[in-house]
Structure 1
């Protein structure tokens, strides 16, 4: 008769019962979707007993998990199992498997974030430097900056807008008419206007059409949009006046 080998436990610190369960599953190469509850419960209880013998802290969460494993094990031993609405037998291990998979995902994410934090420790931040005056934005400013300026105009218009007493049919605003209106305003003055001066009137729909008209004029190279000074006001001007 072969000599029975004693079960050897190599203890290490675990943050919680879920980490201990994952350790047992990975160490014994157990299929997480088909857990042998009797074997897993036995090994889990052996760990708790060894932790007590070594005066390691066994918190209530470890004991609650032990009770959960024993309950699942006892339900697995019942001759008949409860059925779901679809008529399939309910697996008592299902909830435990879902919790283990979710914990495994969060553990993986925490490991990635931890490695990113370790990498970031090798870099030292520096206080912002004053930009030289010669570093001005280019004549053709970034579209994102233009969109942000338009959003600011829209925000100010919405704050002062009032609800009409009657609901009327929305007026059409052809983009060609708005393009002509912008050019007329520029030619009537010095050939340049502040960005906000183009959006002095109109409801939300009309303001959006005006902004699209401005983009079309820029595309056709009839107007230029510039920012003479860093973080300064945006100016619209005729191309032949630039």
Structure 2
């Protein structure tokens, strides 16, 4: 099934170098954006783009939590600055490719969690032919709180009733403990998977899978960043998440 509407989550591990703090993987980022642009021009699909923190936000949160018990107001500012820096790179890549993108930092629309956000600016831009971009972020509500990009992706997919929810990563999908691709994954399956957790303060791949089960999209996939276009085009790539 080709995607008429989609939420695409660009994982931090895809668009940054997680082994090097605050380092963008420009080749991977630009390639991912060009695939989205190609599909957008061919299909005129409605697309919302969400990205993760990688070696920007995740690194900052990890560093803060090692020295403080809570994320205070100043620490929140540091996380917001690091994520905005990454978001501007995603925006720049999008504009350079020809995408009519608009940027919506999560801390400007959310209070304390993804269910307490004003999504109207995103929906309005989407309905006017733009590709809105938002991202995992930090907000301050008495204390600093993390707004997960995965949570945003699922919440937005449900609000706009998207056909597809695609999580793009730096691996081909969900891998079992032997490194083999799992083609389909259901909620009641009991499997052992490879779980990498470098600089990931929102729970890693297992948490991503559990969140994906909460999407109402018909086509939920975790795929390689190299397969974004193919996933949007309805091809059987990566791991399909069966949420029903």
Normalising by structure 1, report the TM-score.
0.24
Asked which structure has the greater CA Rg, the reply is 1
Normalising by structure 2, report the TM-score.
0.24
Higher strand share: 2
Higher helix share: 1
Structure with more contact order per residue of length (Cα contacts < 8 Å, sep ≥ 6): 2
